[in-house]
């Protein structure tokens, strides 16, 4: 296999210099790339627009920061891979493939054309950063309440359409106010971050963790019935109970109360969530540090 790998670092003057090197009078690449902030669409537009100048059978693009993996076309033995950077900012890795080797002239042309992709990729990267901030709690790295509202509707729709199970666990830290009052808010933050990690360690990759309130978390479990959700809730409860946190030389024991419910045919998002929330409060009324399953 013939492979070429290179790092393409663009400066503020690169696009201008590339524009002089490429005749764009009949090649409206730049404006076409300004029409979207979606990585998939950007790479697709770029591929389509340059195909006449740089024939290729396939392309692949990845952006590890956001878990983006895009592949399209028929992969062949000749691969040309570029690690794209704007000064020090990583913007992903792009590979083009073709049945025949590119000439040095074609490689230079491809590299000039890639300069037009850099700033649209930067805009898409900044947009994804903004989304990540809106949908990820910076303290616990759990998804936010906004993300939960969107996700529960989507997962309910998928479960109903596919005839699969869907369960939810509500979790609340017992006596959380004590940690803030006795040790300070830094300790409270430490407890929240530590418990979020402990919960994640018990989950599958398909399970979704959300922080929906001050000390309240929700776990959305796709393709999981009520028995499976109860087992997981009990495993999380025991894991937290048996784990000792150390903050500022103080050993801290934490417990949680959990409520579990499973999706029913007649459920709305509100009723599905409300049952688990009520079950969690029942667990607290029953003495805390326990799991209660909604009827």
Question: Catalytic positions, please?
Answer: 215
Inter-helix orientation angle 145-162/269-285, to 10°: 110
Q: If you write DSSP's letter for every residue of the chain in order, what string do you get?
A: -EEEEEEEEE-TTHHHHHHHHS--TT--HHHHGGG---HHHHHHHHHHHHTTTS--SEEEEEEGGGTEEEEEE---SEEEEEEEEETTEEEEEEEEEESSPPPHHHHHHHHHHHHHHHHHHHHHHHHHHHHHHHHB-TTT--B-HHHHHHHHHHHHHHHHHHT--EEEEEEEETTHHHHHHHH-HHHHHHHHHHHHHHHHTTS-TT-EEEE-SSSEEEEEEET--HHHHHHHHHHHHHHHHTPEEEETTEEEE--EEEEEEE--TT--HHHHHHHHHHHHHHHHHTTSSSEEE--
- Tell which residue, 288, 222, 217, 211, has the closest CA to residue 256: 288
Residue 28: C-alpha distances to residues 18, 25, 164, 225, 288 (Å) = 14, 7, 47, 53, 64
């Amino acid at each position: 296999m013939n492979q070429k790998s290179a790092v393409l670092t663009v400066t503020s003057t690169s696009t201008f210099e590339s524009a002089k090197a490429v005749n764009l009078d009949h090649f409206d690449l730049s404006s076409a790339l300004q029409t979207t902030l979606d990585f998939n669409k950007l790479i697709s537009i770029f591929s389509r627009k340059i195909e006449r100048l740089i024939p290729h059978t396939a392309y692949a693009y990845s952006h590890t920061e956001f878990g983006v993996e895009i592949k399209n076309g028929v992969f062949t033995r000749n691969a040309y891979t570029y690690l794209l950077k704007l000064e020090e900012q990583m913007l992903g890795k792009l590979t083009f493939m073709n049945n025949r080797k590119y000439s040095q002239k074609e490689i230079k042309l491809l590299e000039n054309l890639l300069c037009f992709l850099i700033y649209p990729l930067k805009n898409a990267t900044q947009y994804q950063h903004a989304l990540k901030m809106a949908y990820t709690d910076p303290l616990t790295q759990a998804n936010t309440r906004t993300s939960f509202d969107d996700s529960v509707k989507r997962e309910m729709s998928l479960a109903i359409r596919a005839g699969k199970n869907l369960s939810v666990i509500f979790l609340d830290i017992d006596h959380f106010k004590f940690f803030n009052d006795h040790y300070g808010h830094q300790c409270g933050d430490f407890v929240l971050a530590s418990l979020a990690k402990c919960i994640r360690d018990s989950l599958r990759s398909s399970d979704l963790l959300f922080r929906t309130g001050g000390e309240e978390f929700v776990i959305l479990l796709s393709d999981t019935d009520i028995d499976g959700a109860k087992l997981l809730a009990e495993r999380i409860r025991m894991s937290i109970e048996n784990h000792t946190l150390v903050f500022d030389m103080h050993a801290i024991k934490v417990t949680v109360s959990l409520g579990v419910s499973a999706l029913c045919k007649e459920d709305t998002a509100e009723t599905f969530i409300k049952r688990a929330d009520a079950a969690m409060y029942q667990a607290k009324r029953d003495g805390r540090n326990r799991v209660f399953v909604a009827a």
